[in-house]
Amino acid sequence: MAEHNTAPAPDRAANTHRHRRHSVSRRRLRACHECDLLVALPPLKPGEKAECPRCGHTLVRRHANPAERSLALSLATLFTLGLSVAFPFISFDISGIGNRIELTETAFTLIGLHQPLVALCVLLTVIVLPAIYLSSVAWLCLGVLLRRPLPRSRQIARTLRHVTPWMMADVFVIGTLVSLIKVMGMAHIGLGLSFWTLCAYALLLLLTTQSIDNDWLWFSLDREPMAPEGSRTGITATEQGLTGCHTCGLVNRQPESGKGRCLRCDEPLHPYRGVNNQATLALLAASLIMYLPANLYPIMITTSLGTTQPSTIMGGVLLFIQHGDWPIAFIIFTASVVVPVSKMLALLWLCHVVRQRRKPLDRLTRIRLYRVTEFIGRWSMVDVFVVAILVALIRSGSLMSIEPGPGALAFAAVVVLTMLAAMLFDPRAIWAGASPEPYSGRPSAAAHSASKESDYV
């Protein structure tokens, strides 16, 4: 929300009531993606944000010098990614026998051990997708600074929202630290330049994603058309036959066929058609089926002095506990057991309660639960990254080597399926039938007048 909005509660209520009775300026309207309330964006200064007055979802977050900021961060992150790929990553030495790997070997070694799908997950989430994302951001910001969008800018901008959830460089760093602690007790570990640049790369990638002002970006690429005539703030978009684009935010008229596209970005629209959780439930059922072999089969197989020992997820946790590494055991147990199980149970519960008339817990609590489940799912990939790093690093034949077990692929499938299930769950179902009055006590974004084009330049 804009921090300068300090209107008393009665005035805000009066403003909201007025917006319900009369149409407002049709420029700068937004339909909240989480509760479907139609609001008018306020003029925002750098450092301010606008939140939905009903559910608290952040609609817009404004930054100072957004083009220069994002361009500089994306180029710096690409530079650190290049260094991370080009230089040695980690080395180990035990009794004069050792190995040194580069970052890309964590994926390519898995291909040689007949785990191409796990290797693809590692390669895409750590290197390929972030590189595509960063190149896209640099391309778009350069066009904005030149005041002439470069070719294919709209198509490239559409990819940003789809790529962002699958970038996991920060999770890979945590997996690297867990791997180092596991090996440190039995071998001498050397950290190459790539390890340090990888840490910088993960941090800069996080800063780059947070620097993107999606509302500003689409306004710079293609000035915003008017919302459909007769649009009214303070009530849901669905009640007015409208829907908000999940990619660029433009409010569109709901397509009669149900397969319309946004007028500005040409992305498929997703109008709310009532509670429909079949896709989420199907993905949850598939993830539950895959979770059984992920825990029953070994996730990696260790060979030491000719003796082979398979290790399941819980077996690895217990091994860390026996060695006194309680913090690492806690991280693995949380990421591999608590997070996926909690996410599946939370989504199942949300799918159940959205169909009930008498609903336990208030809607704000339920929407917060949904946000948590959507955020934490990616962190379960820690165990998969640990396997990828150890398999590439520990390759000393019968003296000591580690190979991926069948549980690694099953667990990677669980992570991907639960993430897709959370993405396909429609949070607007949580607010179906709710009063449009603000729930959170926050100032209403709809109480502001519509911003002018000069707010962006």
Q: 119: which residues sit within 8 A by CB, 6+ positions away?
A: 107, 108, 109, 110, 111, 388
**pLDDT value of position 399:** 67
Q: Please state which CATH number belongs to domain 278-426.
A: 1.20.140
Q: Dmax over Cα atoms in the chain, in whole Å?
A: 80
Where along the chain do its domains lie?
Answer: 66-218, 278-426
Model pLDDT for residues 146-192, shown as the tens digit of each residue: 988 899 899 999 999 899 999 999 999 999 998 888 887 777 888 99
* Buried b / exposed e along 112-136 (16+ C-beta atoms within 10 A): ebebeebbebbbbbbbbbbbbbbeb
**pLDDT value of position 455:** 47
Q: 67: which residues sit within 8 A by CB, 6+ positions away?
A: 141, 144, 145, 220
Average of per-residue pLDDT values in the chain: 83
SS3 31: strand
Reported pTM: 0.84
Q: Helices (DSSP H) in 1-53: which residue ranges?
A: 9-21
> Rounded to an integer, what distance in angstroms lies between the CA atom of residue 366 and that of residue 171?
26
**pLDDT value of position 435:** 59
**pLDDT value of position 119:** 93
Q: Is the pLDDT of residue 396 over 80?
A: no
**pLDDT value of position 457:** 36
**pLDDT value of position 200:** 97
**pLDDT value of position 108:** 92
> Rounded to an integer, what distance in angstroms lies between the CA atom of residue 89 and that of residue 167?
20
Q: Is the pLDDT of residue 63 over 60?
A: yes
Distances (CA, A) of 296 to 309, 311, 405: 15, 10, 11
Model pLDDT for residues 434-454, shown as the tens digit of each residue: 655 544 434 344 333 333 433
